[in-house]
Every structure is written in C-alpha cells, then in structure tokens.
Structure 1
C-alpha cells in the first residue's frame, strides 16, 4: 500500500510539473499555440513535410512580434521584432550565449565530443578560437583549388547528363558537389568521389532526412533519461544510425592520420602543409588561456581555470562531424535556390553572366576575382533572404534572467529568432519584400537592414564557415553560368515544395541547362 501511494504521488507530481510547463506562457499572458499536454508543440517542430520555421512565420502573423511555445519540458520564446533580436543576439550576448539543449545531444559542458555548434561558455570560446584559422583568408585561398577541382568535375557530369536536353535535379548534383568539397577539405579525401559511392553522402543525407522522430521527441519530453540512458544505447547500436555511422567514419580517418603522422615522425619525414581540417585540428593551438578573474563567473570563466590549448581527439571528431553536416547541406540548398531563382528571372541571370565575362575573362577564376563579382554576391544574398535555409542556428538559451524590451525572459528559456518573418518584414525591406530583387543590395543604406538579415546568424556566434560557403557558391555558379543558362521545364516545381526540420530546403529542383554556345 505504501509503495502504491508513493508511486501515485510521484505520478501526480510529474504530471503537475509537465502541466505547469505546458501552461507556462498562458499563465504569463504571452500568446502562442497551446499544443498538446506533455508534448506541447514538439510535433510541429519535427515535421519534415511542414518545416517548423515556416510555421513560425504563420504563428508570428497570428500572434504578433513575440509568442511562446513549449516542447516537452522546454519553454521557447519566438521573436520577430528586429530590436529584440539584436538585444538577444548582440547587445546581451553574455546573457544569451547558450543554445537550445536536447538530451540526445549530450551536456555541452561535459560531453567529450561537443562541437562548436552545441558548445557554450568557455568551451565554445576555446573551440571557436582553435577552429577560426581553418576559415581564415589564407586558408580559403589554399582551399580554392580543391573547390575548383570539384566544380570542374561536376561540370563533366552535367555535360554528360544534359547532352540530350534532359532536365536534371540540381539539388542532387549540388549535394554531390558539396559533399565532394567538404570530404576533400575536411577528411582528406584524395580524389573526387562525385557520383561514385561516397561513403559520407548517405549517412549525412539521412541525418537531414525525415526519420527517427522518436529520438527528438524523447530528447524534449524525457531530457534526463535521454541524456543518461538513450545516448549510451544509441552509440552502442550498429551503423544503421546515421550519426553513429558518420562518427565511426571520422574516427577511422582520424586514427589513420595519427598513425601516418607518427610513422612519418619516426622515419624523419618533415611535416608538410596541412592537407585538410584533420591536420589543421591536430596542429591547432589556441593563442589564449581562458582563466578566471577575481572569481568572476561569466560565460568565459565558467568552470574556471586554465584550459587545454589543443583540441582533444574527441573534440576533433566532434568538429569534423559538425563541419561535414554544415558544409554539405546549407551550401547545396543555397546553390539550388539560386539556380531556381535565376531560371525564374532570366534578366538577372543575363546580368550575372555579363559580370562574370567582364571580371573573369580567363579560364581560371582567381580568388581575388571572386571578391569583385559584386552583382553575383547580391544575387546570393538576396537568395538567402528569400530562402533563409539555416534558421535553426538562430536560437539562443537564456543563461541569466534578463529584460529584453518590456519582457522578462527567465533563465533556461530558449529564444528563437523568426528568421522568415524578419526577412519578409516590409518595414525593413519595403513593399516588395516578397520579391526577388538583387538590386536592393546595391542601394544606399543597405547596412540599415543588418537587424533584419541573418542567414548565417548574428553576433559572436555567427556561422564560422560563411566565407567558405560564399566562395564555393560564387566559384561554382560562375563556372556553370559561363557555359549554360538555367531554364525552367515541365518538371520544375513552381512554387518549390519546401521540406525539412533542421534546415528548410526544396524537395527537388528540376531545371534544364541550355548550352550558351554550340
């Protein structure tokens, strides 16, 4: 009887706690979709066929510039007011430096393989400092040749598969390209594996797919068991789990590289230039020590004391993992959107082609020439405004109860910037905000839009790979547009059907590539 009473009491206490979280925003007088008891709005946030960030846009239209949702035991505030976004992401960064936690991902302060995207506090600062040289101007210049090699290889496949005038799904081709590039610059892949059973491609694509919703639900509804039990089960499963499979591929590549470097050292072989991110990370050394000052406990000095200047083996695996994912998906999506919009706006495409011919008259496009392609730069920026594909990165976690505008945001609350609403805000972008108009980026006062434009995030945690992504896109689009016109066809979906939960992308992008010179 005593056991039954205790068990009943625990059930009542547990349900009461879930209900308290579920009704949190309503009790505070903040509007928002109520969702379901215990689950909250978690089902809407993991629906691959109805991207959650498009749902945010609809909810903002209904509830206003801020509203609240719950996901299991997570309380999330969604904001679309530019000033509030700037407060959270820039001005009060010290109070909002963490990201939304999911039990499956592990503890950002304790997990050995935490990566740059999930880490926080002093650990994020250290990982950012150690990773930054990999994306410096000098590093990008060295990587440019690899990107160009992959671009040339892709053009061969395009030529072979469009010779009869057939349309092709540009999304699939761009995915092959970006996986080829990131495989070579991150993992030391020695040659192109484009359309040739690249072992990285399927597990990475699966991670962005529609499966394994149950893991995400568990991570939100049962965060503690997910953190301490589910992670151990998942990472002991066979390679059928894509993330586990990818981790093991990276581990094997890292073990081989360490063995090779050791063998070279024993044989007196001098180390050469770093071949890829694995080499860069093995060589990485931070220029700073992060230490506590006068016992202050802020985001830099949490868990105070001196920290290692070098990345650990587990951290290298984590960094390679996140860079493989980010380097593959977002750039492929952006290229797909750009091609689609150019096909829909041939007058813009002609202007881009004219610029490429004037700035890049020789067969090889130099690194410096890429920076002079101003109109192409405007096209890419406008594409990312119309289709802000990486909105998942625009989230923060409140680390200390703070006041933003007239609103008190309590510690532990997640904050999402509704990027789609910001990018279509007519007050910021004008009455033609819904239109694709690259010329807006050439107009005077464009810098005033910085509060409403965040395709790569905003503030200190802005995407570290932004310049690499721009270089890849400019280089490949320049090479393709020299030879081809993008043309819509019967199989082109107009408008595009958008899918995804981590990123928002088109289901497919069928286009004809018409040779310019025959």
Structure 2
C-alpha cells in the first residue's frame, strides 16, 4: 500500500510540476505578461463575455508593451501589436506559421473529417482554399448581387413595418436577420426569404454567445480530452446541448438532400448546369477517397493541389461560411450605422454620394464600385471596431525567430488587433477619432505597415472579404437613400461591448427617420 500511495503521490507531483512549468514559461524566458492563476493562467479572462478578451488584450498591452506572453492551461501564446512582427508572422514567415491558434474542442485539423477552411492548415488548407476561391471572384459576386439585393429589399420592408409611428429599432437584430438570409440563400440552398421566421437563427446567435467555460477549460487544461468531448457532443446532442452541433447537423442535412437530388437528376438525364450555391460548387469537386495530406514539408509556394473534397469536408466548408457570413457582416453593419448616426456630417456626405451614384431603384454591381466614400466609411469602421480578431492568430509549426524573440514549435502568436488599429504611430494623433477621410488618399501604406488587418493578412486573409463589402454597400445604399440614422434615448453611447469569440455591441438602438428630400 505504501508503494502504491508513493507512486500516486509522485504522479500527482509530476503532473502539477509540469503544469506549473508551463505556467511559468514566459517568465523563465524573460518575457513579461499577466500570470493569471496557477495552472489556469489567463484562460478565464480569455473566455469572458462581459469583458471581451480582445479588449482585455488591449489593456494588457498598455501594461506590458507590444510583446508579452500569456498561458491558457497548456497553451502558450505570445501577444504582439508591433506591425513589423505582424508582417513577419503573417507574411514573411508564413511557411513557419501556417496554422491557427485553435482550441482542442475544434478537433485535430490534420485528422478531422469535417475540417473547414478556418481551422485547416498546410496542404489541406491550400486545397480547400483553391477550391473555394472561385466562389468569391468578381464574376461570381456579380451573379450573387441580385440575391443579396433581394434580401436587402426584403429587410427594408420589415424596417418600414417596425418603424411605422417613429419607433426606434435595434439594428443589430435586423442585420443578423439579413446576413443569415443572404448566406442561407447563397450557401445553403434556401429558396426563399426566411427573414424573421428562420428557426436556425437562435442557434447561430448562440454560437457567438456565452461560452461554456467548463468545456473550453477542460480542452485547454487537458488537450487529449478535446476529441472525447467532441465525440460526446455529437453523439448526445440532446443531453450535451451545443448550438454549433445543431447548426452542423442542419448543414449536413442540406448537403445530403442536395446529393440525393443530384443523383435523381442524373438518373433522369438532367444536367446539373451552373452551380446555384456553395453546396453545388463543392459537390462539383466531390470525391469519396481524398487522401489526407502530410504537412511536414508544407510551403506556400510550389504546392500541387488536388481539386477534390469529401462529403464531410463539404459540410465543414458550408458550416464555416454560414457562421462567418452571419456574424461579421452583421456586426460591421451595426458599427457602421452607429458611427453614421453619431456623426451626422459623415452620414450626410455619404447620402449625397449614394444619391449621385445610385439614382435608379436597383443598385447595380458597377455602381457599387463607384461608392468610394462609402468604402472609406466601411474601412474606418473596421479600423475602429475590428471584428475578426480571433482569426488574427497563428501557431508556430517550426521553431524560428521573429525580431529578437525565439519561438518554439507549438507556440501560438496572437495579434492584439484593437491596439494595432489605434496605434498613433501608424494612424496619427487622431487615431481614436472616426475619420473616413483618412482613407481617401489610398490605403496601401496602412497595409504595408502591417497596421490594418480587419480581414487578416497574408495568404490566409479572409476569403469572404469582397462578399462582405458587397453586402454592406448594397444594404446601406438602400437604407440611406430612404432614411437618416439618428440616435434615440435607447442608444448606448458609448456602445457596451460584449462577446468572447467576436466583440459585439450589446444593442444598436436607432431611429430611422424618413428623408424629407425623398
């Protein structure tokens, strides 16, 4: 018994020592940063919805400087907001940082059958990216424009109903209805508008809601538990209720139904014709025996890509496009509307441009490219309220050095985007001000400095950027031609920001006042 007790005690001490060794990793390397709690590190702060973690990073940067380290269980992360280091990680040394910082609950990006474009890495990412890219070309967006505009007109109809009598509305809710309708129709085979009656909306919203801290902490403290938790969530969805599982199952059903329909059409001799949505596009690249790639020799150059997807990978791509297309564009629209309402001169200038360039009832694809000031407004909004901060992370796949810092394999790099976007050395003394005019002289120098990354930077820059711009330009054009956005007694000034996966406003209550000149 004494030997057994001694063995157990030794094991416990060994495990605790290993966790404490990881917890003190950055201190031992002479890099400052918040210690957090023993073993847990800063994991709890990075899961808080009331104090969004990306705003917490900004506070830590003020305290520790532009480079500091944090731990989250067994995860080691170097936080950077130095634009030179950002360029080094995201562009110059992409071959050493081709993976993203992931939670173990997301699955192994090299083995997960449903891995998506966001979490995949190396050769597998390159294949998924190559197959998905044509969906977001100018030619494809031109074809999608009509669908997006139909959704915009439908939203306008709902706005008219809800603002009759001068009542304010929470535009965040309305924009979420709009973006889910758009992505449902262009990605998921939805044939008509489901606005304000879409049963999927509560589940998609919940994906970005309060995180299940116990679940994510378990994955951070014991990464080997991640696959088990993932299996339990998918095997027992009625017991372990997870909104992402519900959305994935919905996506899987949509793909399965499309496969059956295409098989029936093939038997009947019906040609599938042009792809109607993302599912069709991916099914055209479908294969049941794609061999998973080995990433050991991955470099961004000279990679031969097999243009094939498995059915499970198709589900993964549709899922991530649904989730990403829903949240980020709705948030950008919400922040833009708030800033326009609180800066009436900017709004007036934008309305004049819309009236001048979009005089006809239909806003054409070519007219969108003429809305130069609107583009400035959107870019400035994304500077002040960067949305995809979670995506601005990388994992070191091969030990290397950036600047004066030695980076071990497996170390995560996370960009403090909020600090970067308000850095006065990049943006000037008016960095805290909403000033769309700063973009009128061009934006190349901001990108070259590594100081502006709302859609990421380098080869893994957001694939849906141009679709997001098109959606926002179309909807704002229709709204601002008819209404003026104004603050009301429900408007939060400043906005209260919440959220853990993305940083979002709690609400965006505004009055939409019909324009006298219309």
Cα separation, 2, equivalents of 1:51 and 1:444: 32
Mapped partners of 1:446, 1:245: distance in 2: 42
Are the equivalent residues in 2 in contact too, given 1:290–1:301 (CA < 8 A)?
Answer: no
Measure how far apart 1:448 and its partner are.
4.2
Who is 2:498 aligned against?
499
Aligned to 2:332: 334
- Deviation of residue 385 (structure 1)? 0.2
Distance of 2:61 and 2:436 partners within structure 1: 26
Return the alpha-carbon distance in structure 2 between the equivalents of residues 398 and 438 of structure 1. Answer: 36
TM-score when scaled to structure 2?
0.95
Secondary structure at the counterpart of residue 157 of structure 2 = helix
Whole-angstrom CA distance in 2 between matches of 1:262 and 1:306: 30
Give the structure 2 partner of residue 160 of structure 1. 161
Cα distance, 1:3 vs structure 2: 2.7
Residue by residue over 1:16-66, the C-alpha shift from the partner in whole angstroms, topping out at 9 and shown as x without a partner, is 110000000111110000000111000000001111110111111111110
Counterpart in the other structure of 2:77 = 76
Q: Does 1:385 align with 2:386?
A: no
Runs of at least 5 residues in structure 2 that lack an aligned partner in the other structure = none
Question: How far apart, in 2, do the equivalents of 1:331 and 1:84 lie?
Answer: 28
1:308 Cα deviation after fit: 4.8
Shift of 1:238: 2.3
TM (normalized to structure 1)?
Answer: 0.95
- Write the deviation string for residues 171-192 of structure 1: whole angstroms up to 9, x where unpaired: 0000000000001111010100
Residues 446 and 452 in structure 2, CA contact (< 8 A), matched pair in contact too: no
| Deviation digits for residues 83-130 of structure 1 (CA, Å, limit 9, x no counterpart) | 011000000000111111322111100110110000001101111011
Q: Distance between the aligned counterparts of 1:271 and 1:115, measured in 2?
A: 25
CA contact (8 A) 2:54 2:389 kept: yes
Give the corresponding residue for 1:210.
210
In terms of mean alpha carbon deviation, does 429-438 or 359-368 score higher? 359-368
Is residue 130–residue 285 contact of structure 1 (8 Å, CA) maintained in 2?
A: no
Counterparts of 1:467-506 in structure 2, within 5 Å, are: 467-506=466-505
Alignment counterpart, residue 346 of structure 2, candidates 337, 345, 348 = 348
Which residue is equivalent to 1:324?
A: 322
CA drift at 1:193: 0.4
Large movers: runs of 4+ above 3 Å: 289-292, 304-308
> What SS does structure 1 have at the residue aligned with 2:235?
coil
Q: CA deviation at 1:274?
A: 1.3
Comparing 27-36 with 235-244, which one deviates more in the overlay? 235-244
Query: What CA distance in whole angstroms lies between the structure 1 residues aligned with 2:11 and 2:282?
Result: 48
Counterpart Cα distance in 1 of 2:465 and 2:291: 26
Cα 1:48–1:253 change in 2 (3 A) is: same
Query: In the alignment, is residue 236 of structure 1 matched against residue 235 of structure 2?
Result: yes
Deviation of 1:301 (Å) = 9.5
> Could you tell me how far 1:389 is from its partner in structure 2?
1.6
Tell me the equivalent position of 2:223.
223
Shift of 1:9: 1.7
Does the CA contact (< 8 Å) of 1:491 and 1:511 recur in 2? yes
How far apart are the structure 2 equivalents of 1:265 and 1:463?
35
1:511 equivalent in alignment to 2:510: yes
Counterpart pick for 2:311 among 307, 310, 313: 313
Superposed CA RMSD? 2.1
Q: Distance between the aligned counterparts of 1:471 and 1:31, measured in 2? A: 42
- Mapping of residues 181-200 of structure 1, within 5 Å: 181-196=182-197, 198-200=198-200
Match of 1:281?
282
- Which residue in 1 is equivalent to 2:117? 116
SS at match of 1:115: coil
**Alignment match, 1:370:** 368
How big is the shift at 1:306?
8.2
Q: CA deviation at 1:357?
A: 1.1
| 1:275-311 deviations in Å (ceiling 9; x for gaps) | 111001101379xx9999xx99432499x99875311
Task: Indicate the SS of the match to 1:452.
Answer: coil
Describe the shift of the 1:150–1:483 C-alpha distance in structure 2 as closer, same or farther (beyond 3 A): same
Secondary structure of residue in 2 paired with 1:37: coil
State yes or no: 1:53 paired with 2:57: no
Partner of 1:90: 91
- 1:260–1:11 Cα change, 3 Å: same
- 1:426 paired to 2:424: yes
Structure 1 distance, partners of 2:490, 2:202, is 25
Change (3 A) 1:323 1:296: closer
Moved more, 216-225 or 484-493: 216-225
Give me the whole-angstrom Cα distance separating, in 1, the residues matched to 2:411 and 2:303.
Answer: 28
Match of 2:398 in 1: 400
Which sections of structure 1, spanning at least 5 residues, go unmatched? none
SS at match of 1:268: coil
CA–CA separation in structure 2 for the residues paired with 1:290 and 1:125? 14
Equivalent position to 1:441, from 435, 439, 442 = 439
Distance 2:443 2:48 in 1: 38
- C-alpha distance in structure 2 between counterparts of 1:418 and 1:408, whole Å: 19
Q: Name the CA shift for 1:3/1:27 in 2 (closer, same or farther; >3 Å).
A: same
Counterparts of 2:410 and 2:315 in 1: how far apart (Å)? 28
How far apart are 1:447 and its partner, in Å? 2.2
Decide whether aligned partners of structure 1 residues 428 and 285 sit closer, same or farther in structure 2, where only a CA change above 3 A counts.
Answer: farther
- 3-state SS of 1:122 partner: helix
